[in-house]
Amino acid sequence: MNRLNKKQKNSKGSATILVILIVLTVVLFGVMNMMSVYTSYKISQKNLKWTKQYYEFDSKAQVFANNIAKRIDKYSYNSQIDQSDILDELSKNMADDREILINGKTLDLPIDKNQKIAQNNYIDVGVYFLGEDGQRAFYIDLKIPQVKGKKPYETSYWNRVSESFEYNTNPEFSEGEEIIIQ
């Protein structure tokens, strides 16, 4: 009988160890899955923010380009575009959320409307739209022909300004502590 009790005690101990290991494995995989979901959530939130900003800047750029096109459309086909009209329209479109460049030089107020802004029969107008942090976030470059053609302007560049970034995949806790995973 003594032998039988010893075998039962040994098998009870190994079963307990197996149950503990299985529970630890399940908990470990649960935590790993939770961290993976959290990281994916943070990445999707960042992508949502970037996409929203892109379309906001794109719509501002469309409004800016349409305002320039409306001013140019008042000229008949093959007529000379008045540079002071373009400068007047640019001054109307100046705002705190953008930086306007003519031929690569920043346009400052007050604008001298007698200045020559055409180079090689084009007026090169670049606009940086600034983000919430004041950094350049979106850029458009319009080439306006000095003589009105079929199109009011040619778009040579229309895109988000590239920025370096790194995803922070470390989980944040309510106490402000971070676990750094290496």
| More confident site: 105 or 180 | 105
Report whether pLDDT(11) > 80. Answer: no
For tokens 């959290």, what's the residue? 38
Residue 111 has pLDDT above 90, yes or no: no
How confident is the model over 131-162, as pLDDT tens digits?
Answer: 888 888 888 888 877 776 666 666 665 666 66
**Rounded to an integer, what distance in angstroms lies between the CA atom of residue 130 and that of residue 49?**
15
Rounded to an integer, the average pLDDT of 46-60 is 88
- Report CA 146 to chain centroid distance, whole Å: 33
57 Cβ contact list (under 8 Å, min separation 6): 129, 137, 138, 160
Q: Is the pLDDT of residue 78 over 80?
A: no
Its pTM stands at 0.62
pLDDT at 119 over 80: no
Distance CA 57, CA 157 (A): 14
Residue 134, phi-psi category: left (phi > 0), alpha (psi -120 to 50), beta (remainder):
left
Distance CA 81, CA 143 (A): 13
Sheet holding 154-160, edge to edge: 105-106, 98-102, 122-130, 136-145, 154-160
pLDDT(33) > 90: yes
Q: Is the pLDDT of residue 167 over 60?
A: no
- Ordered DSSP codes for 46-111: HHHHHHHHHHHHHHHHHHHHHHHHHHHHTSPTTPBPPHHHHHHHHHHT--TTEEEEETTEE--SSP
